[in-house]
Structure 1
Amino acid sequence: MTSSATRTGILIGAVLALTWVIVGFWAFFFVAIAMAVGAVIGRIVEGKLDVSALVGAFGGKRSSS
């Protein structure tokens, strides 16, 4: 039996591939971006992603001394 993460990865790949085949590249691109944004929001809600560290990383601040 495969792991849950493997199954999730397969499902995500299938959704993206079908999107590309059925409606084209730009729809695929939009779906991929929307999925990434959803994943980040999910991590924030679960408390697994520190927003202040993320903002600091994009702002060019170093996380270590």
Structure 2
Amino acid sequence: MSMALVGMLAGMALAFAGYFGGFGAFLLVAALGAVGFVVGRLLDGDLEVGDFLRGRDRDGRR
């Protein structure tokens, strides 16, 4: 099992407490699942923190 999948499941498990709150809880589960997925990808080495912090040049290239 990849770390991305583990991270996504962990985020969804943490948000499960909000499940009983309706649509807002649905959004919470989706958001925390996405955060967990990104953290898992970072731990796998597929992404780097610098990918989120780097700006773009004026012509749209990195």
Work out which of the two has the higher radius of gyration on C-alpha atoms and give 1 or 2: 1
TM-score by length of 2: 0.55
Structure 1 residue 62 corresponds to structure 2 residue 56: yes
Q: Where does structure 2 lack aligned partners over 5 or more consecutive residues?
A: 6-11
- The answer on 1:34 being equivalent to 2:28 is no
Q: How far did 1:32 drift?
A: 0.5
- Identity of aligned pairs, percent? 37
What is the CA–CA distance in structure 1 between the aligned matches of 2:26 and 2:53, rounded to whole Å? 27
More helix as a share of residues: 1
Counterpart amino acid of residue 62 in structure 1: R
Residues 1-65 of structure 1: pairs in structure 2 closer than 5 A: 23=20, 24-56=22-54, 61-62=55-56, 64=61
Matched residue type, 1:31: V
TM-score, length-scaled by structure 1:
0.53
Instruction: Determine the C-alpha separation between the residues in 2 that align with 1:31 and 1:55.
Output: 25
- Equivalenced residue count is 43
Moved over 2 A (4+): none
Distance, in Å, in 2 between the alignment partners of 1:53 and 1:31 is 25
Q: Distance in 1 between matches of 2:26 and 2:51?
A: 30
